[in-house]
Amino acid sequence: MIDHLPERLDLLASTEAGHVLHGRMPLARLERVLPLLESGEGELVVELELGKDPAGIRYVAGTIRGEVVLKCQRCLEPVTEPLDLKFRLGIVQDEAGAAALPPRYEALLATDEPASVADIITDEVLLALPLVPVHADDSHCGGFLQDYQAQEGETRENPFAVLAELKDKHN
């Protein structure tokens, strides 16, 4: 086990050699994830196993654990989402290789450039983030909802007319 995450990995050489890499990835380095986060503080614990399976397929199998803070889409307050991801990437060098991969692998294209470890982790985290993050316990968001409904009641002469309209749309 290597207790360090390199910036970049030569996918072909490192899967040939076989390694287990373990380390921490600061959220601040996940540039495509950052805009979705309420806070870029913190880091994810990452383990990457590189090797070749009995069929000769080069793979990167990994886990990503930690948490990210998103914006609740119900109350717009921060909501903490735990991450506990497992993934298994089959290294391919072209489209034919990707098409031939067994379904238990997602394809990861090896190019002439060493792969960015932050990029690999970014892709997995983006796949795992909820499309619409909300607090699991909606009583957390309740204060906001009550305020919102109170405002609606004040500004609209007949709030029930809106409800009736909504019902019509559904019928």
Q: Which stretch binds Zn ion (CB under 5 A): 9-17, 55-63, 74-82, 160-168?
A: 74-82
Q: Tell me whether residue 64 or residue 75 sits nearer to Zn ion (CB atom).
A: 75
CA-angle at 30, arms to 19 and 123, nearest 5°: 65
To Zn ion, the closest distance from the beta carbon of 157 in angstroms equals 29
Tell me phi and psi for residue 76, to 5 degrees: 65, 15
To Zn ion, the closest distance from the beta carbon of 72 in angstroms equals 3
Can residue 70 be called a binding residue for Zn ion (CB under 5 A)?
no
Can residue 75 be called a binding residue for Zn ion (CB under 5 A)?
yes
How many whole angstroms from its chain centre is CA 69? 12
Contact pattern from residue 136 through residue 155 relative to Zn ion, giving x for each residue in contact according to CB under 5 A and a dash for the rest: -----x--------------
Binding test (CB under 5 A) with Zn ion, winner from 43, 74, 81, 106 = 74
Q: Which helix (H) or strand (E) holds 122?
A: helix 117-128
Which tokens go with 142? 């309740």
Q: Where does this chain bind Zn ion (CB under 5 A)? A: 72, 74-75, 135, 141
